[in-house]
A and B are shown apart, each in its own frame.
Chain A
Amino acid sequence: MQSRFSSAALAAGVTLILGFMVLGISFSVEGVVPTLEVSESHKIIGLLIGAGLVFLLQYFRAEVSKVTTKMKGDGQAHELPAFMRTEKQQRVLAFWAVGALLLFPFLSSRGAVDIATLTLIYVMLGLGLNVVVGLAGLLDLGYVGFYAVGAYSYALLNLYFDMSFWMALPIAGALAALFGYLLGFPVLRLRGDYLAIVTLGFGEIIRILLNNWTELTGGPNGIARIPKPTLFGLEFSRRPSEEGATTFHEFFGISYSSEYKVIFLYLMALLLVLLTIYVIRRLVRMPIGRAWEALREDDIACRSLGLNPTNIKLGAFTIGASFAGFAGSFFAARQGFISPESFTFIESAIILAIVVLGGMGSQLGVVLAACAMTILPEMAREFDEYRMLLFGLMMVLMMIWRPQGLLPMKRPHLELKRD
């Protein structure tokens, strides 16, 4: 009893001290003299409430952990709720979900659709990296490099060869895949930490190259005025960019609205994501998918069965990279402007966080995590400077409650019924 109280008090005390450093003191400049002053009272009160909460949590730790272990489960994949267990039910559910996603842009605000499009880009990136990290078990910290390759492929092809988005899209995917292949060739002999470090370096090399090759890429100024994708040649601008071309609203005889463009981009992103999900689902069920999984489990056993680990890893790397390429070129088209700044290491980290948060290897988990990782920071904008703090807190809670991810991979096979 005694120790329970004192350890809780200690935890609360630490919270107070650390919290005071962050929230309690504010730094201001009067004239040229920087001064420190104690913050407004509501922050102090908030801090005290926080410390109180920590105290209570620590004091009733045994009771709290009872609840959390229940949520943690047995470390195995969780059973899905009753209405989505069979393949048929899942298909019906997926059908409804896609329907809802198709209707979504027509029923919500422009801002929401814009965020949803961004989310879909991250879903695509997460799914692509999931092949590399989740399925093949190769820790890739430079995934953003392939994303950059995709984005710059479209931007440069358009700039120098006047290529349209739809023509550049497959080329961007292929180029990113080629980069994945070229990088994978030498580095896939490495494993674990070493692989992570080399891929991290590769991501940085791409970014720095883009930053310094000013004649080709425009360097830190980036590339601006990248055209948006068209619908069978119909543009979404107010006036056609070339003489004689028709725009979307003119063609259909409706008045111009900038919302069409946003909705069109959203639907395109949705289409790309659905395609990605479909392709990867098929791959997982093919022998190569099973080989990825086997390789992740036991390298030596795979070799004893005549599998060539380098080729299989290379396959995962190349396929993962090509999805980043698609996402990248879509990103370039949506933003209309890209610069090396969009492809820093933090992007790689976010995409990796999506994969880990979702539960390695699980597609649905990755989709959910991508939504959480992009929408939550947006919703938390009101907390302005504490936004990232809140984000960190969420991650810590995840580690405590669901270390295996939101929806860990459910392997595509049937379990024996136990009665």
Chain B
Amino acid sequence: MLALEKVHTHYGPIEALKGVSLNVEKGEIVTLIGANGAGKSTLLMTVCGDPRASSGTITWKNEDITQTETAKIMRSGLAVVPEGRRVFSAMTVEENLAMGGFFNNTNYDERMEHVLELFPRLKERFSQRAGTMSGGEQQMLAIGRALMSNPELLILDEPSLGLAPIIINQIFEIIEMLRGEGTTIFLVEQNANQALRLADRGYVLEHGKIVLEDTGQNLLVNEDVRKAYLGG
């Protein structure tokens, strides 16, 4: 469904991605793990078209989107939960969710109901300002907001960032539930252990290059991965 083919991305003279190829098939959970500065976020942002890939092609639903406008990409059935949540803190939960469905107004009520079912906590906080909620609740809101556009592919950028272990577990449970509904998920994580447990397949990114590609289970027991990312 989403495929990157030898993608290079530069920040000025610095090459952040050095020929990355990967693909995500329909119905899969694919995870991308890597250390700080490996280029995980850059890869995601390149998919969204900001920054642009300097060479290589990105295909989404059999269409080349390498040079497509960011806004257009984001309206084509692909939703991103940005790193660090980025909810609209002065707006209420309801308004945040409404922003998620800004461009896709079909079945608005149904989708709203669905999101509130997935996250009962958001229902309790429906009229509360997003900025007054806890980090975990904000992360749920960020995911809910992304789901409001009814995406075919959900991209999550470090959803466990800065959350307590118990909340992280909840978030991963929800990701699993979404898989059950048939949403394709591309998960970028530093929390390799949990991400790999959940994922069908995984990629390991190091210094802008994919160094390993395997099923989640295999990566989990891989000696190198264990050493580098899972603490021995």
**Residues of A participating in the B interface, judged by any CB pair closer than 8 Å:** 287, 290-291, 293-294, 297-298, 300-308, 411, 413-416
Contact = CB atoms under 8 A, between A and B. Distances in A.
A294 B86 CA distance: 11
A173 to B, nearest CB: 28
B70 interface: yes
Interface string B54-78: 0000000000000001111111000
A307 B71 contact: yes
A411 B90 contact: yes
Interface in B112-166: 127-128, 145-146, 149
A290 B97 CA distance: 12
Would you list the 8 A-B pairs with minimal beta carbon distance, nearest first?
A306-B74, A301-B86, A308-B71, A306-B75, A304-B80, A297-B88, A416-B127, A304-B82
Interface residues of B, number: 32
B100 interface: yes
Nearest to B127: A416
Given A308-B71, A413-B92, A415-B127, A303 B50 contact: yes
Contact of B149 (A300, A306, A308, A414): A306
B35 interface: no
A327 B111 CA distance: 44
B91 A306 contact: no
6 contacts: A290-B98, A298-B86, A305-B149, A306-B71, A306-B75, A308-B70
Contact of B102 (A300, A307, A415, A416): A307
Nearest to B71: A308
Contacts of A293: 88, 90-91
Contact of A413 (B50, B81, B127): B127
B145 A305 contact: yes
Given A302-B99, A304-B81, A308-B71, 7 more contacts: A297-B91, A304-B86, A304-B146, A305-B102, A306-B103, A308-B70, A415-B127
Contacts of B75: 306
B91 A294 contact: yes
Contacts of A291: 99, 102
A293 B145 CA distance: 16
Contacts of B80: 304
A290 B86 contact: no
Given A290-B95, A413-B95, A415-B127, A303 B88 contact: no
Contacts of B82: 300-301, 304
Contact of A305 (B91, B92, B99): B99
